[in-house]
Each structure stands twice: as C-alpha cells, then as structure tokens.
Amino acid sequence: MSEAHPLTSDQRQALKQAAERAKAFTGAAKVAAFNGWSIGFFAAVTLLFGIFSLTALVLGVGMAVVARNEFKSRARILTPDPTGPELLWRNQVGFMALIILYCLWSMYVTPARPDPQMAELTELLGGDLDELVRSLTITVYVAVIALTAVFQGLNARYYFRRIATIEQHLSETPDWVLELQKSARVS
C-alpha cells in the first residue's frame, strides 16, 4: 500500500523549485550574520578605547550602526524582502566610507602630532627616523584604503546582486508557497 501525500506532485515540485531559488539569496543572510558579529565585536573593542579618544568613539559608534544594520538586513533577507540586500549594499558602502575617512584622518593627524616615544628612539639610534615613520604610516593607510575599497566594494556588489534574486523568487513563487516558507521560518 502506497503512502498518501498531503501535497500533489505539482505542489511538491513548486516547493522544491522555491527552495532552490531561495538558495540564491539565503547565503547572503549567513554573510550578513558573520559580518554583523565580527563588526560588532570590533565596535565593542573600539568603544572601550573610545572612552579616551573622540576618534575611537566616533569609529566605534559607526561600526556599531553597521553591525546593527547587518543583523536587521539578515532578518529581512530571510523573510524574503528585497529591502534586506538593499540596506546591506548601502551599509557596506557606508562602512567603506567610514574606514577610508578614518585612514585619511589618521594620515593627516599622524605627522602633525609628534610622538615622544619616537623622539626617544630616534635619539637612541642617532638618526632621523621621522621621515621613515611618516612614509611607513602613509603606506599602511593607503594599503588599508585600497583593500577596503576592494573588499567592501565586492561585498556591496554581492549584496546588490541578491536584490534581483529575491525579486525573482517573489515573482516566480506561488503565494501559498511563500506563506508556507514564512510560517516555517517563524516556528
């Protein structure tokens, strides 16, 4: 005796196709969760040092906002809602701007503030290390700017491309399947 299925074969096929389409954007929710936790961790550490530095305080608050947006958008993606990846790609561009502005600020401020420890080291070594330190500092910040532009830019592009996959999923998936998926996520 064969087992009776509560769904027809067409309905099972519609569920299977919807699950396959959803794979194209649910990975973005995992990326957003990872980003949210890692950025949130660094925001907390930065805020601890922000007690003594206005720059660190501003940077920490900015990173906390970015982390919150990652979690908020993750939930939207799982709904599925195209505003989730929309917020995420904009969030990555904002995060990129935050890092680049921090690097530019640091490149501007570092030469203007003499470091007493560096003066002692220069005196001990009997040479002029100021120019070398400035060059290395600028090189490091330029490298961070370049890597940030590439990494955050690719991350923003990744999220931006998920908008179309969610919209396709919503347009090609029957309403009853969307409701079933939504109720399965809630429970």
CA separation for the pair 96, 48 (Å, rounded): 22
The per-residue pLDDT for range 53-111, each reduced to its tens digit, is 899 999 999 999 999 999 999 999 998 999 999 999 999 999 999 999 999 999 888 76
The dihedral sign for the CA sequence 79, 83, 87, 90: positive
Q: Once rounded to an integer, what is the mean pLDDT over residues 153-178?
A: 94
150 band by pLDDT with thresholds 50, 70 and 90? very high
- 185 versus 89: which is more confidently predicted? 89
Q: Evaluate if pTM is beyond 0.85.
A: no
Angle at which helices 9-50 and 130-172 cross, to 10°:
160
156 band by pLDDT with thresholds 50, 70 and 90? very high
CA separation for the pair 178, 187 (Å, rounded): 15
What separation in angstroms does the CA of 57 have from each of 16, 47, 51, 54, 145?
48, 5, 7, 5, 20
pLDDT of residue 3: 66
For the cut 60, the answer to whether the pLDDT of residue 21 exceeds it is yes
Going from N- to C-terminal start, the domains of the chain cover 26-182
pLDDT of residue 133: 75
